């Protein structure tokens, strides 16, 4: 029986383990906290990603390794690669861990990106704001997620630059910093795609995403954008996957502005914007990730109808309004409530855009989540 090791034991690892069960797969999770939510479904090795003893025990009990967490130190990924097959490869992981390297690659591959500059110190921040202009965003190059490690500059007054530096300057040595132009986008989208060990590439329908305070709030698939945008977005994802010799599922996050695309970042793993694929697509992102890394035939990424995913942040609401829907599906990650934490999600799937808008309306009212569903309903009606 094949045993898959997952570095990181969050909800992504948990959903991977659930998706792998029908394939007869076994899982082992490595996480630094003993109550990681994937541990409810898979045995665990508790230890830090840099702890060689923990890594050695982990490696000795698995046939192949993958990630639920993209910020595993590159040295740890390399250490594992010397012992077991690891997908995606450590080079792809290292590159996508660093926003500067990632954006440089986008540019080299001809994929449009917002203007950006490396910010090594306070003087470099002044220079970068001058070149890029405002509004702009200062971000840590590494270790950011869910909008953490970001500071938005609305103007270029010295006080504003000082505030940005006060917020993130202390991290400059550890994580590096990057300044990016703020994109006044009309929409955000993501391509969730998979590439097999033999190079076969498949993408799910383009997904539209809404963020609140830098955290994903809702997704809609298909995104309902013009076909040429979707074709181009998928072409960019494929170009990247081939350049990185990527194996497994990844997401390419994009901004849409004036009918054009700009790349934001790559997540080198299954992605929150692909959770709707569990019930909304022929094959889920989780199952296809496992098939890809194992060298099995990839499943179809076709979807039927329209799906929307709603994230539950902080605490889980009452599930009943979602469960009462014919196309309603509930996911409780088994986590304790905590402000800003992703604790679950729901997916609604319907055959038509109108039926999905109606279902979202009912759920939004019953759960008092009108604000969360409103932009999705608006997009469906356009
Ligand atoms: P994730 O959880 O997706 O990994 P992250 O912490 O890596 O998030 P980003 O994806 O860079 O952060 O930013 C989070 C959100 O903040 C984006 O989805 C977008 O809504 C907004 N944002 C980030 N960069 C920009 C930008 N340059 N212009 C406009 N909005 C931006
Ligand atoms: Mg990110
Ligand atoms: Mg992001």
Chain segment 299-337, per-residue pLDDT in tens: 999 999 999 999 999 999 999 999 999 999 999 999 999
Query: Is the pTM value of this prediction over 0.95?
Result: yes
User: Tokens representing 166?
Assistant: 């006060």
Report the pLDDT value the prediction gives residue 382, as an integer from 0 to 100. Answer: 84
Q: Cα(199)–Cα(207) distance, rounded to whole angstroms?
A: 23
Q: What is the DSSP string of 214-252?
A: TEEEEEEES----HHHHHHHHHHHHHHHHHTT--EEEEE
Report the pLDDT value the prediction gives residue 352, as an integer from 0 to 100. Answer: 98
Mean pLDDT for the stretch of residues 254-279: 97
Class of domain 115-181: alpha beta
Question: Regarding the domain delimited by 3-86, which CATH topology (the fold level of the hierarchy) does it fall under?
Answer: Rossmann fold (3.40.50)
Q: Whose CA is nearest to atom 16 of ligand 1?
A: 214
Report the pLDDT value the prediction gives residue 74, as an integer from 0 to 100. Answer: 85
Complex prediction ipTM = 0.98
Distance from Cα 100 to the centre of ligand 3, integer Å? 14
CB 92 within 8 A of CB 31: no
Chain segment 192-247, per-residue pLDDT in tens: 999 999 999 999 999 999 999 999 999 999 999 999 999 999 999 999 999 999 99
Picking from 36, 68, 30, the residue whose alpha carbon sits closest to that of residue 52 is 30
Q: Where are the domains of the chain?
A: 3-86, 115-181, 187-381
Peptide bond into 222 cis (omega under 30): yes
For residue 381, the tally of other CB atoms under 10 A from its CB is: 10
Q: Cα(187)–Cα(209) distance, rounded to whole angstroms?
A: 7
For residue 339, CA distances in Å to 266, 301, 314, 316, 360 come to: 25, 34, 4, 11, 24
Chain segment 23-41, per-residue pLDDT in tens: 999 999 999 999 999 999 9
Report the pLDDT value the prediction gives residue 1, as an integer from 0 to 100. Answer: 86
Whether the pLDDT of residue 263 is over 90: the answer is yes
| CB-based pocket (< 6 A), ligand 1 | 114, 137, 144-148, 180, 182-183, 188, 211, 214, 253, 264-265, 267
CATH code of domain 187-381? 3.30.470.20
Asked whether residue 188 is marked as a ligand-binding residue, the answer is yes
Q: Given this chain, do its domains 115-181 and 187-381 carry the same CATH topology?
A: no
Chain segment 92-115, per-residue pLDDT in tens: 999 999 999 999 999 999 999 999
252 Rama class: left (phi>0) / alpha (psi -120 to 50) / beta: beta
pLDDT band at 146 (very low <50, low <70, confident <90, very high): confident
Helices 227-243 and 99-108: crossing angle in degrees, nearest 10, is 110
């Amino acid at each position: 029986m094949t045993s898959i090791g997952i570095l990181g034991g969050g909800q992504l690892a948990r959903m991977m383990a659930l998706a792998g069960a029908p394939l007869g797969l076994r899982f082992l999770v490595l996480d630094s906290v003993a109550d990681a939510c994937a541990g409810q479904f898979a045995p665990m090795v508790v230890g830090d990603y840099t702890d060689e003893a923990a890594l050695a025990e982990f490696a000795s009990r698995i046939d192949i390794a993958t990630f639920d967490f993209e910020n595993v130190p590159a040295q740890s990924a390399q250490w594992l690669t010397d012992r077991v097959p690891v997908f995606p490869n450590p080079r792809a992981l290292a590159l996508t861990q660093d926003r500067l390297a990632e954006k440089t690659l986008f540019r080299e591959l001809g994929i449009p990106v917002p203007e950006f500059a490396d910010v090594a110190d306070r003087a470099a921040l002044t220079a970068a704001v001058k070149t890029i202009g405002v509004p702009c965003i200062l971000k840590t190059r590494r270790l950011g997620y869910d909008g953490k490690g970001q500071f938005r500059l609305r103007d270029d007054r010295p006080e504003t630059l000082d505030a940005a530096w006060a917020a993130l300057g202390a991290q400059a040595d550890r994580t590096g910093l990057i300044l990016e132009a703020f994109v006044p986008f009309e929409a955000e989208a993501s391509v969730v795609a998979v590439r097999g060990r033999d190079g076969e590439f498949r993408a799910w329908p383009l997904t539209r995403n809404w963020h609140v305070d830098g955290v994903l709030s809702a997704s809609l698939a298909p995104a309902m954008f013009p076909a040429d945008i979707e074709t181009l977005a998928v072409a960019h994802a494929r170009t990247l996957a081939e350049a990185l010799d990527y194996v497994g599922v990844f997401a390419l996050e994009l901004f849409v502005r004036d009918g054009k695309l700009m790349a934001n970042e790559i997540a080198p793993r299954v992605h929150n914007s692909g959770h709707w694929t569990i019930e909304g697509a022929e094959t889920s992102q989780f199952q296809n990730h496992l098939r890809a890394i194992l060298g099995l035939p990839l499943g179809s990424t076709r979807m039927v109808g329209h799906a929307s995913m709603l994230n539950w942040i902080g605490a889980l609401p009452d599930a009943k309004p979602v469960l009462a829907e014919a196309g309603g599906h509930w996911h409780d990650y088994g986590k304790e409530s905590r402000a800003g934490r992703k604790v679950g999600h729901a997916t609604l799937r319907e055959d038509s855009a109108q039926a999905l808008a109606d279902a979202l309306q009912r759920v939004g009212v019953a759960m008092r989540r009108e604000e969360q569903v409103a932009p999705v309903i608006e997009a469906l009606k356009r």
